[in-house]
Homo-oligomer: A and B are copies of this chain.
Amino acid sequence: MTIETPYLLFLGDAHDPLAAKVAQGIRDWRPDYAVGQFRMEGCRADMKLPDMTLAEAKAAGAKTLVIGVANRGGVISPEWKKVLVTALEEGFDLASGLHNLLRDEEDLAAVARATGRKLHDVRVPSVKYPIANGEKRRGKRCLAVGTDCSVGKMYTALAMEREMHARGMKASFRATGQTGILITGGGVPLDAVIADFMAGAVEWLSPDNDPDHWDLIEGQGSLFHVSYSGVTMALIHGGQPDALILCHEPTRQHMRGLPGYGLPSLEDLRDLALQLARVGNPDCKVVGISVNTAAMSEEEAKTYLAGVEKRMGLPAVDPYRHGAARLVDALAQV
């Protein structure tokens, strides 16, 4: 599944800017993909892109209408439907990461069939993945692993990719979640893959490449998060990373969604992830630490990062605050 670019970003009637997280991700990380935005009455999100009608976007070359906003109550409203059906009629494919699938809407499915357009529901795999064979692939791979879920793994990988491209390095962000897939137009929705094929899906996602090419594989879950650790394990063993980045959010009180579970230390994460990664790649190294310091003042963040850096002997940065340059410096040494 590859989603055809460029996109028209559908912001619908977003009730606040946060609801348009997917659109914001595309705007931030793949601005070239976004020719414009489509906003309905009452929309409170704004990507600072040209507002376009479907016809204007078509004329500007847009191929896919991407639903860049969460819907309310898991229902695709009649108002949305009108736009989506018209978009199909006008020759757009549709792409969505909504829980309720486009393909399950009878009208959208029928119009897509009649017009020959594609409905990309990125929450469900569209590929029959193989069972992992564990064979060494050419090229290099970096994986972000976290002390917990939602600590900035995707952001870290995207920030590193951008920095690497700016330096003329060969690098590809490899999406493993819905948002990442919509941002970049392809990937594996790993949490929806059948257990036996998880590691194989990651191998499929990160095939042989040039010896100096880096795949930046989007991490998921955490080895220490009992709900999702199996997915993280498959990323480590299917990904065969040469380099690991440790990701952390220092103000979190307990594992996300698990009030009874404290967070591991960065040292625990380093030791466990490295041991597991070396099963698949004995040369794997931990090269740096990415800390989400959003909840800290600039001063607190600097002090915290300096402390981690000293303690762990590895570059520790918040890529959102300070850029990913030092993480890329470390990667370039591998």
Contact = CB atoms under 8 A, between A and B. Distances in A.
Interface stretch (A31-39, A87-95, A220-228): A220-228
A325 interface: no
Interface stretch (A64-72, A75-83, A159-167, A194-202): A194-202
Report the contact-size class of chain A (Cβ under 8 Å from the partner): 35 or more
Interface in A191-242: 191-196, 198-200, 223-224, 226-234, 237-238
Contacts of A133: 227, 257-258
A280 interface: yes
A279 interface: yes
A230 B226 contact: no
B280 A226 contact: yes
A132 interface: yes
A260 to B, nearest CB: 7
Contacts of A190: 195
A286 B234 CA distance: 24
A260 B195 contact: no
Contacts of A194: 191-195
A251 B134 CA distance: 21
A233 B238 CA distance: 14
Contact of A195 (B136, B226, B230): B230
A226 B191 contact: no
A279 B223 CA distance: 9
A224 B260 contact: no
A192 to B, nearest CB: 6
Interface string A254-293: 0101101100100000001001100110000000000000
Contacts of A237: 226-227, 229-230
A230 B233 contact: yes
A131 interface: yes
A28 B192 CA distance: 37
Contact of A226 (B134, B196, B229, B261): B134
A260 B135 contact: yes
- In this complex, the member of A223, A226, A232, A280 whose beta carbon has the largest number of chain B beta carbons within 10 angstroms is A226
Q: Which of A196, A200, A227 has most chain B Cβ within 10 Å?
A: A227
Contact of A199 (B227, B257, B272): B227
Interface in A21-45: none
30 contacts: A133-B227, A134-B227, A134-B258, A134-B260, A136-B260, A191-B194, A191-B195, A192-B194, A193-B194, A195-B230, A195-B231, A196-B227, A196-B231, A199-B227, A199-B228, A199-B229, A199-B230, A223-B233, A223-B276, A226-B279, A227-B237, A229-B233, A229-B276, A229-B279, A230-B232, A230-B234, A232-B233, A261-B279, A264-B279, A272-B275
Given A193-B194, A227-B237, A230-B230, 8 more contacts: A194-B195, A195-B230, A199-B229, A229-B234, A229-B237, A229-B276, A229-B279, A230-B237
Chain A to chain B: the 5 pairs with minimum beta-carbon distance, closest first: A230-B234, A226-B237, A230-B230, A191-B196, A132-B227
